[in-house]
Amino acid sequence: MIYYFDSAHDETISNMCKQLDKLIQDNYMPGQPIVVMCIGSDRSTGDSLGPLVGYKLSKFSFENIYIYGSLNQPIHATNLSETIDKINKTHLCPFIIALDASLGKKEHIGYITLANGPLKPGIGVKKKLPEVGSLHITGIVNYSGIMDHALLQTTRLSTIMTMADIITAVLVNTFLTDVFPYKQQEPVQLYQQLLSS
C-alpha cells in the first residue's frame, strides 16, 4: 500500500512520522543497521530531491544509521548498482530506506509517498535500474508526460525544497526518537533551528 502526504498541509510531518514509525516497527529487526539511500542528480532540479535530503541529513549525527547520496556524492543511474553492492558489502543485512523524486499525476505534484518494499528508480523516465529498499519514500515533483526529461528540468525549486525539508524533518524525528527511544531530544525543533540558522 502507498501512503500519500500533501506537503502543503501543516499536519504532514506528524502524520508521516506516525506512518513511517509503523512501517519500521513492522519490518525492522533490533540492531539492524539503517541505510538511507538518497537517489538523484544534482544536475537536474526535478531530480535533486534525494541529494538535497542527503545533504540535510548529513548535518545530524545518528547511531547505527548511515546516509548515502548527497549533493557532493550523488547516487544516480550510472553508479546505482555499484552503490548497492558497496552498501551490502559494508553493512550486515541493512534495512534500506530508498528515497527518490518521481513523476505522477498532475494533481499529486507536491505529494510525498511512503510505502513498503523496494523503490523502482528510473521508471518515470523509462530507465531500467535495479530495485532497492526495505521501504521507500518518493516526492512527486512533476507530472508524467511525453517529455519526462524536460519536465524534470523545469520543476520548481520551491517544490523540491519544501519536500526536502519535510522528508528530512520526518527522518530526523524518527531516528532520534522512535528507533532509539532513549534519546531525550526535540528533533523537529532542532531541525527547525538548523533551517533558520
Q: Give pLDDT, residue 187.
A: 45
pLDDT at residue 178, rounded to an integer: 52
**pLDDT at site 155:** 78
Task: Return the pLDDT at 186.
Answer: 44
CB-based contacts of 147: which residues, under 8 Å, 6+ apart? none
One-character DSSP codes across 125-153:
GT-----B-SEEEEEEEEE--S-HHHHHH
What pLDDT shows up at residue 179?
Answer: 54
The cell for 100 is 527518490
Rounded Cα distance between 189 and 15, Å, is 16
Going residue by residue through the chain, which has 197 residues, state the pLDDT in tens, using 9 for 90 and above.
999 999 999 999 999 999 999 999 899 988 899 999 999 998 888 889 999 999 999 999 888 999 999 999 999 989 999 999 999 999 999 999 999 998 888 899 999 999 999 998 866 556 778 999 999 999 999 877 655 555 666 678 899 999 999 999 999 999 987 555 444 444 444 445 544 44
| pLDDT confidence of residue 144 | 74
What pairing do the DSSP bridges indicate for beta strands 34-38 and 65-68? parallel
Residues 78 and 119: their CA atoms lie apart, in Å, by 17
The cell 556524492 sits on which residue?
73
Chain-centroid distance of CA 20 in Å reads 12
| Maximum alpha-carbon separation in the chain | 50
Instruction: Enumerate domains of the chain plus CATH numbers.
Output: 2-190 (3.40.50.1450)
